[in-house]
Amino acid sequence: MELEHVNKTEIPWADASWNPVTGCSPVSPGCDHCYARRFAERWRGQPGHPYEQGFDLKPHPKRLGQPASWKKPARIFVCSMSDLFQGAVTTAYLDRVFEAMEAADWHIFQVLTKRAARMCAYLKGRWARREPPGHIWVGVTAEDQIRANQRITQLRLTPARIRFVSAEPLIGPIQFTGASGLTPLAGDEGGISQVIVGGESGPGFRPMQIGWAHQARVACRAAGAAFFFKQHAGVRPRELGHLLDGVEYREYPA
């Protein structure tokens, strides 16, 4: 998809990124080698740079109108350089961000968080008396079984038409079905429509066993959910390619 005048992204499951908030604080082991923090801190103290403040939290209200100005439909990753549901982001500002997304309904917005409980509580309030808009997808990051159990449980309770899980960086096995209580993976009531799997990248990356990706693929196939394999683990994952067993898996919810 060719996009003009948008924030194009190299993240393969999105067409563009939109950062009405930047900066974040770590909450779990998946944050240890955060690419966004590593990038932002390179520019700390550089006058006039968008990341002059490094990876400290910073709302950008002037960016709220960007999606409405992008006329060509796109899949937009919301807050690729932050987590929208941090406690320091006020409810009033969340309202403004969601108003902007709801108004630009020709796009698909991919909202991803590690703060699953806050997202669940906020959207239960926002969409208490109406159907959640289908163009706003909500997801959680789950890097291992502990985080999967915690966050996917909250995600299932979150009102949404499309829910997804980003198992990246996948640093431990996740059983998406069975004893973890996460069955069924897909379905109308609390179901998960897509699982994205990716190994960690960059200096000090933690290895991903290929069997962990197989587990996610099998679970998706059994539940009728989309499976998206992003990358293997490595300092430069592109050098390893993005094929799993020689096959490209880049599936999206219907």
Residue with tokens 């796109």: 74
> Which of 147, 154, 139, 124 has its CA nearest to residue 193?
139
Q: What is the DSSP letter of 207?
A: P
User: Has residue 187 been placed in a domain?
Assistant: yes
pTM of the model: 0.94
User: Has residue 203 been placed in a domain?
Assistant: yes
Other Cβ atoms within 10 Å of 38 Cβ, number:
12
User: Has residue 174 been placed in a domain?
Assistant: yes
User: Has residue 2 been placed in a domain?
Assistant: no
Q: In CATH, what number is assigned to the domain containing residue 167?
A: 3.80.30
Number of domain units in the chain: 1
- 20: burial class by Cβ within 10 Å (0-12, 13-18, 19+)? buried
Distance CA 173, CA 195 (A): 14
Looking at residue 75, its pLDDT comes to: 98
User: Has residue 9 been placed in a domain?
Assistant: no
Q: Helix, strand or coil for residue 110?
A: strand
User: Has residue 169 been placed in a domain?
Assistant: yes
User: Could you list the pLDDT tens digit for every one of the 254 residues in the chain?
Assistant: 445 456 789 899 999 999 999 999 999 999 999 989 999 999 999 999 999 999 999 999 999 999 999 999 999 999 999 999 999 999 999 999 999 999 999 999 999 999 999 999 999 999 999 999 999 999 999 999 999 999 999 999 999 999 999 999 999 999 987 544 455 576 657 789 999 999 999 888 999 999 999 999 999 998 889 999 999 999 987 777 899 999 999 999 98
User: Has residue 157 been placed in a domain?
Assistant: yes
Domain that holds residue 120: 18-240
Distance CA 252, CA 228 (A): 7
> Which of 47, 44, 46, 76 has its CA nearest to residue 63?
76
User: Has residue 46 been placed in a domain?
Assistant: yes
